[in-house]
Structure formats: structure tokens, C-alpha cells
Structure 1
């Protein structure tokens, strides 16, 4: 039977080659070609991005039963929402042309040495980490490690991150990253409020915190009607016992290192929890927050080898006591055992995730910053504790010597004790801070202007002596003064602030300090993970499409990578041009008036969009509009975001076809017409169907006073065919890490850009340091506030989406959408007869994804998890499991996958169905099936004793192509229950790994 299939595949391949040869001959340039024809670039992008060839498309359309791609779209996308006019995008550029164009844009950025600080520091990315992690698709194309057996490398690195953070902060445990420091501070505020059962409505914020931290806490707390009190930590009165928590900055935004012991005691005496926003690098020298009794520590790991990137992406962290673990936001990596009793890793306590808890979730964060956390962890591994301390001491020394030089020259230095940052009073020299800033800029140095007479200076790892000399010259001080200043500089801290406890003692931080060792360590971790450079990742709703190399290249160019987010605007003209251009294109694609890139995840985009709606209603005096209607099928972050935006969730049912029950919606909209704020809807639906009644759904919402929020998770099925604005939505977030090709990075980075109609444009996110809001709309921002630490969010990765759109143009974008729909329907057709598709649209077709029903096999003892793990033996990542329908798999192939890969996946699913039939027909007992033993590791397959009723070949090489490129799951099936009952979330002692099968 296998031989017959192989012969059939060879015949199909021969047919394809014949068609391609004919096409090549037909396209030979005629003698009458013009100069434009002759000089036209050949490195066009659409044919590289889109997987199936034209010949493959013809075969696939026959399988689906459509005549053309236009016929396919006519039969899937409702005619009432189809675009009437083209998008008016620029003509597509070739890959080389696009790189040339963005190089010209990048050159408009002026990269200075930055002494600005405020939570962002100059750093040096070790080249071995830059090349082998940040620029390596084995790391940046992986998905969130829900399938632990094929994610052990990333999980190990994230566990390293957690261990490093917990050690440095002196806390019991840490999460595996959050979006940025300000977000982490806001999440800590929610955590404090929850730990006090929501009964204490006041939260204190020290006025010497970073401005973005203060603003974000105010924005997020205000949405929940919490009373955010910003004031002097020396005078705050906690005696009323009405504060749930208090946020301090250690060291503070001006650089002062103030012993927080007295403050912590005063807060704790009143039952108030204390959150410290802190600097990891400083904690190699300073007494850590945990030693002072702080309850929660937050901060950014950016200065651990992650480029400035105009504000992001950077990995933040949250660390706390073990007793708070179930209240902690974000993901936590834990230690457990596999099916053979061997230690392994997985994401702990997944029931806290938003798709399970929905409006009762601890937060709406579903995107972390895994790739950046892995970079920071690798930085810690590479340098080790002694290396980290050496870097910290050099930074502290540079700052101290510079401060001494300025003192000797007659300037006032305000900080008594500081790590890397201090403030300079320039008034005694008869000058202003603005004049000094301009003089320093002329020498190539950016400084912080605090007020008319005060300059802030902050030192980072990549600062050199020459940089300091240039900086001093900006103050009118000779660099020759450094030698005398070094003799009088106060380096280090008083005894009550000096760190005495050990940190980063685990062997992993003390083994890999040569580049050879580090290179091999990173490779060993990469080899344990399945990424897009291994095989298709067909996750429904997660859109794991090609992250093209040409799109990725500009990210690490110095002109984009080394820009401080608070650099003067005239130095950032390239960034402004690129972001404005991207927003202009996204506005055209979505049918909206304006966009904001500040949200740095899809969930944050939801939140920003809902805040814009809330602010709009409040501006009109509609203070009672707080009801958000959400379909039962919605992404779990939708209700979580609505609650965090201060809204009350009302759920609307789905009908038998999976569509929104329009009559139920109408009834609930009318019932709440005086309180209706918004409807959240995903389109196409999470069931993979273009709902025919979407325009009526929007009209019902508008008729009852609400606005329509469209979840953009499935935007890749709309681009160039329809648009949220055309359909009738008022705001939509765009997962740029899905539709617009920013890679998932093992669970982040992400970008959740939002687009809005004109009336919502004034309510786009603002920022306290760099004015923003209403970008592209020519409006004055109102009161929405900041929702991320940096004004343009994760700006460093926006060039990826810019490149994607510029290289495809409208024809390429349209064909990408068409092929996304074709690929999904081709797979659904191939699998028909073996599995049932839960929901279909008009004419029995799906959108860009479809849901396979595994519930009919439950009587055999086989569930979706068994199929997911068996797919690993074939070298595939599982589709989305049990969402949005329990007991199902949701499959989304994307347009990037070629027909051969789609066929291999379908073949794997068909063979798995045969193994299910073996059970149902009594040929194999369920407990003896390869489905229950999956995944099969090499240790299991090469043991001397083999007691399975199937062969080792069937276990490990169930399809011919697997032998050619076998991906081995690193561990057997992971025991999630054991891990939750025995929570260990830092690197275990090395003797845990002494078993023979682990040591190998």
C-alpha cells in the first residue's frame, strides 16, 4: 500500500514538473520586450512567501471543487462585505528593493550614546547570542511551549530566566516574563488588590518612580475605579489600612538608592503589600528587595543583552513569594516528570490561562516576551555571577567617576548613593538644562532633561571612556579631569545597602563562559525544540506563517536596534517615517482612520481598544455605558480584557452552525441599550466561518448605543477581500505577530496595533514622556493614557510588518489571503471521510481554519491530547487543542505552507485515524496503542527490551518522510498534574538529572 502511495506521489510530482516546464517556456521574454521588462527585478517576494506553486493551486482547487481563486472567495466570503475598491497601496517591491528602501529610512535615524536612563540602558549584546538566538529561526519561529515534549529547550532557558530573576531579586519565585516594566507594575497592582480580596481600593505610587510606570498604573487602576495615590514615600500615611499595596522604585528614577526597610515596615504594619520596581544589574551589588521584606519585585531585563530598540520588545519580570504563586500574572515554568518518571519541564498552572478562566482570569496577558527573556537568560548564563558583578561594578564606577568630575567642576550632584544614575544641578554654573542637553547632543550624547536646571545622567554597559569624555565636554569639563576624579569618586554603597547574599549559584550559570561552550549550549537547547524551520505548525487562530529572512534583517541594524525610546524626536525621523508609513498602510487595509502601535501584544490591543471605547462614552457623558457583549466562542482574552477595562460581560449564545445567535444578541442589546458600551466579535468567527450576518450584528450594536470591537486574530482571512471598517467595526486590534509576520518567538514578542474610526482617534493611547495618541488622524489626544511603557510599544520589530506589506503590495496580500483560505479548505477536503469538520460556512466551505471533531472517538479511550502527542512522532506540532470547542483540533495551515507539507500532515492524520480504528475494531487494546504511548523518545525506542505490540519503526518512523528528517521529542508525555501538585519553578539541583537517560 505504501509503495502505491509513493508511486502516486511520483506521478503527481512529474505532472507538476511538466506544468512548471510549460510555464517557463511560455514566459520566455519576447523580442519586443521593453526596457522595463528587461530590468525588472526577479527577486519578487509573493512567490517566496506563498507556499503552493501555480500548478499546485490548480490541483488543490480541483480537490476543493472550485473553478478559481475568485470562485473560492465568492463561495466563502459574503458578498455584502466584499471591498468595492482597491486598497490603493504602493506597488510591490522586490526583496532587494525593499531592503534598499528601508535602509534609506533607517539612515535617517541618528544613533547617539544614551545617558537618558528611565529604565532603558545601553547594553552589549554578546555576538554569540545575537547570531545564534535573536537572528536564529530555530528560536524566533517557535510557538508558545504548550506542547512541552517538543519545547524542552525553550522551557529550560525560561527556567534559567526565572531562576536568575528570583536569585537577583531575593524572592522565592519569578514568572517567565511580562511585556514591559510598566505593565509588570500595573499587574502587581492588580495582584495586590486581589490578595486583599478587592476590599482595599487605594494603591500608593511613589512620585520618584519612572514616569511611564506611574502613568500606566494610573491608567490601568483608573479603569477599575481604584484610587491611585501618587506621593512622597516618606510622608504617606498607611494607618487607615485602606491601601492594598504600594509601589516604590529601587533605585529611583533619579538614581537615588534609598534604604526601603523603614518604608516596608510602615506598610506591612498597616497590612499593605509592597511592590519594588528594581534594576536587575544593580542587584548584583545592592541588597535585593527580598532581603527588605518586599512582597513583589518587578522590572525589566532589557539591560541583560537586549537592544534598546526604541522601546522594545524587552522582557519584564515579576517575582514574589511562593504563597502568591496562583495570583501571579503571566506564565510560570515548572518542573515535573514524564511518562517514564524522568524530570522535565512544562508551563505550570495552565488553568490560570485566559482561555480557561475568561472573565475570572488573573490578567488578560496571553503574550509574554519569551524570546527576549531567553536572550536575557543566555546573557546571565554567558557572563555568570562574577561576570554580571564585574559589569555592574564597571557601570557604577563610570557613574561615580563622572559625578566626581562634575562636582570638581562646580556642578551640584544631588544623589548621595547611586548605582548608575545621578542628577546634576547646572544652575550654579549659570546655564540651563536645555543648553547643556544641546551641547551634549552636539558631542554625540543624549541626556535626560528633568527640569530647567536639572540633568539626569544614566550609564550603561556599552559606554566607553571616550563617550564619557565627550559627555563631559558637553558640560564644558575637560576629559583630563577623569584621572583626578577617579581618586575622589565614591564607588559602592553603605554597609546597610551592600549585597551579602549569593546569587546565580546553579551550575548552569557557572559552566558556559567561553564562546565555544555557549555556542554548543545554545545549539543543544535549540535541538530540543520544534520550530517553523522544522515543519508546519498548524495552530488554529495563531497563524504561524513564514517570518521571511528579508523581513527580519532590519531588526538588528544599529539604526533601529540602538535607539532610546525617549531620544529627541529629531533624531528619530527614520522611525517616524517607517511607523507613519506602516500605519498608513494598515489604515487602508483595515478601513480605519488612524492606528497606534503602542499595544505590545494582542491582549493589550484588546485592552487599548476597549479603553478607547470607554473614554469615548465618558467624553459624551455616558457614564453608565459599561456592558460589553461577547460571544461564547470568543477568545478568552476578550472577557478578561473587558473586565480590566471596567466593563461588565454579557455572553451571547452561538447557534447550531456556530454563528452568533442574532436574536439572542438583539434581545441582550435591547435589554442593555442604556448601558451597552461595546460588542466584541471575532471575524471570521473562532469556528473558522465567515458569518453571513456580521453587518446586521454591527447594526444592532450601533442601534443600541454601543460600538463594535473586532478581534483581529483572524485578520489574515480578510486582508484585501474585506476590512473591519468596511464591515462596520469601530476598532480592531491587529496581531502583527500573526497576520503581518512578526514571529512568535516561543511565546512573544507580539504587537497588537489597533486601528480606529475617526471618532475614536482622539482616544488612542498617549504617553507621559513622548507625546503620542491619535497618530495619523491630526487630532489632539484626550484621556486614554498609556497602556505600554514605550510610546510606540515594541517599535524595533515594526520593520518586519513594513517589509511584509511593501514586498507584497495589494496583489500579493490578496493572493496570500486567498491561499490561506484555499490551503485550509484543501486540507479539510483531504481529511473528509476520516474526520468530521464541526462547522462549515456557506457552500460547505471554511475560512482560513477549520475544526476537526475528535469527540466521536472518545468511546475508544482516545482524546485530542493523544492525537496531539502522536503527531509529534510524525514531526508535527499539534493544532490548537480543545478550543474553541472541547474535544477538537483547530487547524490553520496559513498560505506559507506548500502542498507537499499539507499532504504530509493530512497523511499523518489519516494514519492516526487508522490507529484509532485499530482500537475501535478490537485489533489493539487502547492502553497498548501507539497513541497512548506517544510521543516516543529515542531512549524508549532504543531500550534493550521492547514490549509493545507494534514495532519500533511504527513508533518512531510512522511515515516514510520521517526517516529522512526525524525530529525526536526530548521527553515522554509530560505529567501536568504532578507538576501542579509539586510546584518547582527554578532550576533544580544538577543531581536531579543524573539518571542515565537524562544525562545523555
Structure 2
């Protein structure tokens, strides 16, 4: 063979995906290394990563697969799942995802690669979609305000419990729970209540007033389908200064009187049946609505309306600094991730169908249920009365009927030996009703029964109030109209499909198409979370395989994929630590050391897990103060439970003393929790479980390529060493030391194929190289900007980890131009801003990630250098300190094209500060948003049409 002929092995090119995921090619990597002053990626790694933690061996993972082979492998796994018709209900229902929504939201990177809308001006599209969600939820629930989604129904119920605890005038420590709530909701309430020392009383609602409680949770309709009037109970609870929360069903509320109309204070639930598939449990958007009096205590994100610099309406995150940041160790919620992508889908389902379409779906579902009930009763079978979509059938051989159903590839809900339930839904057909009746030996002539069968809704609970009357819910019912509406919203936003999002600590990297493809396959999407195990062997293989991949990547011994956000993963890890200490007779260990630089969810999670937070110091370089750690560990030695730390540090450096810190904590009987937010700097180079850490949460929506989806979905697995493995989150119906932390056993299972595909296509060597390039990219940005914006913290050899903090504080003192002005000016260059003023006020934290090409890094650097030149012009007096491109940024198209231009700088500088922008330009839809106005005038529903004005100034 000729020396110039490549080998067959090289031509097969199994590692092709690695080159597609990692942005810079070999030549560009060499150029970047030259700028950083390192001869190779290995030399760079040695210069950055402390030898005390660096892995001696390569990751024990198989070699990389091509996209074609990986898709074939996961297709084989998916084929092992069996997709039955599921009528199990219990909070999860069949639904049709409109194809226009599936293609243009779920499968559209403009929506799934967007970040949380903290930067309002480039998030107007998704915030409009979320305000549609809030309006939909609030109006259907009969409440004054709703948030922009929670993680699932069970966690929403737990948030309602703690909202009631801090808001009710009743100072009882008891929360009463309807014994007909969904079982997973009850399990999660038990988990959350125990460390907070809230006493749960569970029983029939008739017993609710026997207990002096701060709140009551009602399921309406209940888990068995029953619909009852609870107005009298609500009045009695209010008379005792308690609050009432109602777990409800949005589709049912198109026909039933809304909870707010019969006095409830809080409404929660799951919007899954509004166009979001089962997905073996998630992700689905939970919701919470409440009375206006509680809006400042409501957890989660809240989209509000403010005005921009020209007085035009503009959306923003209102009350933006939420509870875990304000109250930290006193917080009762650590909610961080929402379920934005799924909330957008649910909202657009309502927009597409409109109020009449939703009511038609609800009525059809109910009529099928009423007809099936009539057929069963005609056959002498007992069926409960007053229901919406779920029949409670008693006095039957449930085992035999369940077996007959399984033989017909149908899933029912078996309650006990003599009873079961059947939940119908949007996907139910006439043939389904006939088949279901046949399982009981009941004949079913649908048209004949339809003619003689009345509805089964209580007459005094029929809804009479209107809902969804805003034009947005009454204007986009054809596919063409909705398609253009969705495109228009997406065009207002900046997501990863258009630009780098250089957010420090958030790891916005490529979400490859091949990774995304499997989530829409029916074998993954259409599996009910409570389907029998024999139908989910493919899912179990996928989950077991991914858990083992993550074990190899982290150096831990066991992983739970149940937590459906990073904050939930934190909480699960701390519960594991607390349960471990209790199992050793050391339940008194409740002190958690947390450095002062930590993200707000850390102390909030510790408090929720029943721990007391002791804040420790950082030194002048932002590193954890080891001597203070030593002093605090000694001081609290008898009661030390844990330390929570982030590694690499929140300040973007590899601290040298991490092994010593682990040894100090262990010497005093504590456990080490390492926040996994910065795992993208570690994979393949060092594993927390190998250097002495006991537990970490990981962010699959960061390091392992699940998209952020505009602020969710997230997956936050909890990884532990073997001694903590027995204390990972439990599963529904299984007794154990720690209960469920999410509503579904495997959390957001339907998006786990994304991370499985990423790891499979990268292989161990590819993952390691990705980490090295991430380190290189951050140092390349820092080095090229060093003469313009100094990096605040560096580690050994003057290098950073995977992110760098640019210090703008000296410039603000000299010119009045601060980090926020630079962030807004970056919009004019078509960039999402870096992380603003975290962890240090007045700074920007930049994380470029390995998937950004060198050309995009250079485009960002060029933008920052041009901005620095504009600041220099302010320093030199060439630009006014107040009237300049930074203070007035971002500039809208309407603004720069207005008939009059009153600024002391050219229009062209405002619009096209770099020549390249004339070829491709993003125009923000609004000018700078007024945050103060929004917080003083909280308005969180769809904007009335007449609020928009025709203003030539934009």
C-alpha cells in the first residue's frame, strides 16, 4: 500500500462526530495555543489542572461511534420498549402534539437552545410565549397570577405547602393532605416535609377540620376521578386562618368551576396533557397560580410587563431575584430551573386550539368517559359518579381484567384486588371505548348510548366564567397563522442557533441534531411513567447505561437520574448525607459549611434538607479560605454534616487545596458535596469521586448537552460514593430512607437519550479532548482581552479554568460605564451577554465552551475590543458620559431609522459598530427595559392590544 494511502481504519473515521462537536480544528487549536503560550493541549492541561487531582488513566468508556452507528444502537434500545395504549391516568394523560408545534418548537433550535430570559431585550419572543402560559394557567384556575412553570405537579404541590406555611396567619405546623391526591404527590410531600419538620396529616377531606393546620391540599378532580364541591371546606379553613391549595387539571377546568372561584388560595398541577408526550415521566411543565396577595412569595420565575427606554411595553423577568438568592439559608425553596420549553409547548397548544377548541377536546373526552361508564353500569358493574375523565370501577376482579387488558396491549390503573380506574383523554377513540367496555364483557353501542346518556359533571360545578379571551388565544387557529406567529416570536430572540452564548457557569454548548432525534421516537415519547416494567426494558437499559457512563466520568460509584433540575440534584445529595448520618446514629450532624461565593441555591438546598448553614470566607483571590474551613470544621466538629463547594471554583480557577479541604472535612466526620455546575472543566481530566468528594449533582443540561430550552428542561443527576448509594432518592411505592425528589421515578426520562448519544458519539478520548478545548477557549479569550479587560482571578501559571471573569469595575469608576452597559451594548453586536455581576458585582463571567469555532470566539473578542474603544472615547471626552452608544444600548431598528437623530454619535456607530454587521445583523425588538418600573408595577398577563403604541422612536 502506498505511503500516501490512508488506512481503512482512518477512512472509517469513527471519531467524525468529535470533530463536529469541537469547534476549532487542529490548525486553529495550534494558533490558539500559540496565543496562550502553550505548546500542546497536554501541556496546557498540566499547566492548569493540579497534579493532586489529575486522573492517572483515561476514561473507561468505549471508543467514539459515528452518528449513524450511535443512532442505530439507540434505535435498538428503543425497540425494546413496548408502546401500549395507556389509560392509567394518575396525573399523566395521552395527548396529540400538534405537528406545527412539534416541528417549530420541540424540534426547533431557535427554541430549544435558548437560555433563561434574564436578559430581557433578546428574550422577548420566549417571554411572550411564557406570559401566554401564565395567562392560560391563571385564567383556567380562576387566579390573579401564575408563574412561568415549575418542575412537575408533585414538586409544585411541595412548593404550595411551603408557600402556605410562610403566608398563612395560622401558626400551626401541620399540613393536611387529601388522601385522594396522586400517590407521587404524596410521596414527594413526605420527602419535603420531613426535614422542615412539617407534620403531614393525610386523610379524607371530611377529617380536614379535625386538625388545626396552616394549609390543606385538595385534588380536584381527585386521583380516582371524583369531582366534588369544596367551597364549604375552603370557607372553614379560611375561618381558621389557613390556606387552601388545589391540585387540578387544566383540561377539566374548561368545563368545571375554577378553584379560585370557590375560594382556593393556590392552584397547582401539570400542563402535560396540553400537547406534551408522556415521555416516561418528563419533562413536563408543572404550574402554580395564586392570589395576588402571595405574588412576592411565589417560587419560580415570573414574567412581567414593563416599558423600554422609549416607553413601549416590554416583557421581563419580574421580581427577578427570587427567594433562594434573597433569603439564602432561610429560604424555603431552591427552585432554579423551570420547564420553559414544555411550558411554551403547552401555551401554544392553547393558542392553537383556542378556548372553544380546548372545550371541545374536554367535552369529547368527557362524553367518551360518560358513555363508557353507562356501558359498564348496564352490564352491572359499579362505577363512581361525578367525574370528568376518570372512572373508578369497584367490585371486580382487577387482576383478571388487568391481565385481559395487557393481552390487548392496554394499560389500566390497578388500585387494589377489587378496583381499578380508567382515564380517558384527547387520544381516545370510539374503538378504544368499545374495546375497554369489552374487557368487562359489556356491549357498547356508542351512538345509542350517546343519545340517552347525560354528562357526569355536577350541575353546580359547571363552569360559567369565560377564559382565554385575549386575542392571542383567538387568532392563530390555522396552521399557517400559528407557524408565522411562532416564527415571529423566534425572530425576536437570540439563541444558540444564531450566536455564541458566553455565559459563565452555564456551559451553553452544541446540542447536536443527532442527539436530539431520538426524543421524538414513539418508543421513548409515548411510554406512560407508570407502565409495567416489562414494557420499559429499553428505557431501563438506557438509564442503567447512562448511569454507568456518568459513574465513569465522575469517579463516583452510583447515580440517580431522578432529580429533574440541578437544584433538585443538590437537594437529593444533601438528603443522602443527612440520611447517612442518621443511619449511623448521628442525626445531630446538621452543620453545613458553604463558602460566601456560593450560588444561592446551595444554602437554600441545605436549609431545605434540615441543615444549618455556616458561611465560610474566601481569600483575596476568590479561593476558599482553607484556614477558615479548618477553623469552622474544628469549631463544629461534633455536629459537622457537610461542606458544599464548587470545583473548579465559582471564580473560574482550579484551586490547589481541594484534596486538603476534603481531608479536613472527613477528619471531623463530615461529608463533601461538590457542586457539578463546572463539570465541563473536569470530564476526562479529573473526577470528584476520585479526589475525595462524596457526592455531586451534575447538570446534564450543561456538561452533557441537554439543551437549556429557554430555562428548562434540566436534569440534575445525583452521583455518590458507595457508602451514600443506599440513600439516593426512592421510587414510588418503595420504602426507603429517602423519598422521591421528583414526581417520576426517573425524572425527565425522555431527554436522557440526548446525553447518552453525546457520550456514545464522543467516547472517552473525545470527552477528554472536549474538556481540554474548553479550557483552551477560555484562556484564549482571557489572553486576547487581557490588554482591554483584565481577568479578575487566575490560577497557577496565570491561567483560568473553563471560564474567566472580566473586571469592569475600574472602568465604571473612571467613566460611569458598568458591566450592564457592556452587556446591553453586546446586543448591538448580536451577542447574548456573559454572566452579569456574578459571582462578583461589576464583572462579566465568560465561558466560551469547546463547541464554539475560533471564528466565533474572534467575533466576540472583536466586539469586546470595539466596546473598549468606545469606552476609551468616553474617557477621552470624544463621547458624552451619558449620551453614548453604551448607555443607550441596545438600539432598535425603529430607533436608528427614526426621522430625527438626537444623539451625539452617528447612527452608523449605533447600528453597525463593526463592518461585518452590515452583512448579518440582529435587531432587538425593544430598547433597554426599565427594571424598576416593572418591579413597581407588577403586571404578569398578556398585554392588552391597545397598550402598544405607534412610536416612531421605537
| Structure 1 residues 957 and 639: alpha-carbon distance in aligned structure 2, compared to 1, 3 A threshold | same
Corresponding residue SS for 1:916: helix
Report what 1:416 is aligned to.
385
Question: Post-superposition shift, 1:470?
Answer: 2.5
Corresponding residue SS for 1:517: helix
d(CA) in 2 for partners of 1:717, 1:358: 27
Report what 2:208 is aligned to.
236
Normalising to structure 2: TM-score of the pair?
0.98
Task: Note the aligned Cα RMSD (angstroms).
Answer: 1.5
Give a deviation string over 1:235-288, Cα, whole Å, max 9, x none: 2235x6x41111010000000001111211121111110000000000000000
| Structure 1 residues 813 and 197: alpha-carbon distance in aligned structure 2, compared to 1, 3 A threshold | farther
Normalising to structure 1: TM-score of the pair?
0.94
Report what 1:68 is aligned to.
40
Report what 1:610 is aligned to.
574
Counterpart selection for 1:178 from 127, 150, 155: 150
Question: Post-superposition shift, 1:760?
Answer: 0.8
d(CA) in 2 for partners of 1:222, 1:196: 20
Counterpart selection for 1:210 from 171, 175, 182: 182
Counterpart selection for 2:650 from 676, 679, 686: 686
Q: Does the CA-based 8 Å contact 1:119-1:300 persist in structure 2?
A: yes
Q: Which aligned pairs between 1:948-987 and structure 2 lie closer than 5 A?
A: 948-987=903-942
Q: Which aligned pairs between 1:630-779 and structure 2 lie closer than 5 A?
A: 630-769=594-733, 771=734
Question: Post-superposition shift, 1:996?
Answer: 4.6
Counterpart selection for 1:467 from 432, 435, 439: 432
Report what 2:86 is aligned to.
114
Corresponding residue SS for 1:416: coil
Report what 1:3 is aligned to.
none
Question: Post-superposition shift, 1:319?
Answer: 0.3
Q: Does the CA-based 8 Å contact 1:676-1:705 persist in structure 2?
A: yes
d(CA) in 2 for partners of 1:125, 1:435: 33
d(CA) in 1 for partners of 2:480, 2:15: 36
Q: Does the CA-based 8 Å contact 2:592-2:640 persist in structure 1?
A: yes
Report what 1:942 is aligned to.
897
Give a deviation string over 1:330-375, Cα, whole Å, max 9, x none: 0110010000011110000012253454224452011000000000
| Structure 1 residues 176 and 971: alpha-carbon distance in aligned structure 2, compared to 1, 3 A threshold | same
Report what 2:783 is aligned to.
829
| Structure 1 residues 915 and 353: alpha-carbon distance in aligned structure 2, compared to 1, 3 A threshold | farther
Question: Post-superposition shift, 1:475?
Answer: 2.6
Report what 2:765 is aligned to.
811
Report what 2:879 is aligned to.
924
Q: Which aligned pairs between 1:298-447 and structure 2 lie closer than 5 A?
A: 298-352=268-322, 354-361=324-331, 363-413=333-383, 415-427=384-396, 432-447=397-412
Moved over 6 A (4+): none
Report what 1:453 is aligned to.
418
Report what 1:125 is aligned to.
97
Q: Does the CA-based 8 Å contact 2:125-2:491 persist in structure 1?
A: yes
Corresponding residue SS for 1:79: coil
Corresponding residue SS for 1:931: coil
Q: Which aligned pairs between 1:519-598 and structure 2 lie closer than 5 A?
A: 519-598=483-562
Q: Does the CA-based 8 Å contact 2:332-2:607 persist in structure 1?
A: no
Give a deviation string over 1:543-562, Cα, whole Å, max 9, x none: 00000000000011111111
Corresponding residue SS for 1:710: strand
Q: Does the CA-based 8 Å contact 1:583-1:596 persist in structure 2?
A: yes
Counterpart selection for 2:56 from 63, 84, 91: 84
Report what 2:865 is aligned to.
910
Question: Post-superposition shift, 1:495?
Answer: 2.4
Report what 1:297 is aligned to.
267
1:862 correspondence with 2:817: yes
| Structure 1 residues 197 and 657: alpha-carbon distance in aligned structure 2, compared to 1, 3 A threshold | farther
Give a deviation string over 1:412-445, Cα, whole Å, max 9, x none: 11x2100000111243xxxx21221111111121
Corresponding residue SS for 1:235: helix
Corresponding residue SS for 2:206: coil
Corresponding residue SS for 2:580: helix
d(CA) in 1 for partners of 2:347, 2:353: 10
Q: Does the CA-based 8 Å contact 1:168-1:283 persist in structure 2?
A: yes
d(CA) in 1 for partners of 2:698, 2:436: 42
Q: Does the CA-based 8 Å contact 1:351-1:357 persist in structure 2?
A: no
| Structure 1 residues 224 and 661: alpha-carbon distance in aligned structure 2, compared to 1, 3 A threshold | same
Q: Does the CA-based 8 Å contact 1:737-1:743 persist in structure 2?
A: yes
Question: Post-superposition shift, 1:44?
Answer: 1.9
d(CA) in 1 for partners of 2:168, 2:145: 20
Deviates more, 1:285-294 or 1:924-933: 924-933
Question: Post-superposition shift, 1:530?
Answer: 0.2
Corresponding residue SS for 1:629: strand
Give a deviation string over 1:143-164, Cα, whole Å, max 9, x none: 0001100100001000000001
Corresponding residue SS for 2:148: coil
Question: Post-superposition shift, 1:603?
Answer: 0.4
Question: Post-superposition shift, 1:191?
Answer: 0.4
Question: Post-superposition shift, 1:456?
Answer: 0.7
1:493 correspondence with 2:457: yes
d(CA) in 2 for partners of 1:258, 1:584: 47
1:29 correspondence with 2:5: yes
Count matched residues: 952
Corresponding residue SS for 1:926: coil
Q: Does the CA-based 8 Å contact 1:608-1:787 persist in structure 2?
A: yes
d(CA) in 1 for partners of 2:168, 2:642: 30
Deviates more, 1:348-357 or 1:443-452: 348-357
Give a deviation string over 1:149-192, Cα, whole Å, max 9, x none: 01000010000000010110000110000000000000000001
1:620 correspondence with 2:584: yes
Corresponding residue SS for 2:95: coil
Give a deviation string over 1:458-499, Cα, whole Å, max 9, x none: 011112112222323333334x44344334433142321100
d(CA) in 2 for partners of 1:464, 1:571: 23
d(CA) in 1 for partners of 2:499, 2:331: 33
1:143 correspondence with 2:115: yes
Question: Post-superposition shift, 1:827?
Answer: 0.4
Corresponding residue SS for 1:455: strand
d(CA) in 2 for partners of 1:690, 1:318: 40
Corresponding residue SS for 2:229: coil
d(CA) in 2 for partners of 1:869, 1:586: 38
Report what 2:240 is aligned to.
270
Ranges in structure 1 where 5+ consecutive residues have no aligned partner: 1-25, 772-780
d(CA) in 2 for partners of 1:689, 1:965: 35
| Structure 1 residues 52 and 375: alpha-carbon distance in aligned structure 2, compared to 1, 3 A threshold | same
Q: Does the CA-based 8 Å contact 1:440-1:473 persist in structure 2?
A: no
Give a deviation string over 1:387-415, Cα, whole Å, max 9, x none: 000000001011111111111122111x2
d(CA) in 1 for partners of 2:50, 2:434: 66
d(CA) in 1 for partners of 2:122, 2:160: 32
d(CA) in 1 for partners of 2:3, 2:202: 70
Question: Post-superposition shift, 1:533?
Answer: 0.6
| Structure 1 residues 997 and 513: alpha-carbon distance in aligned structure 2, compared to 1, 3 A threshold | farther
Question: Post-superposition shift, 1:577?
Answer: 0.4
Counterpart selection for 1:284 from 254, 257, 262: 254
d(CA) in 2 for partners of 1:522, 1:786: 36
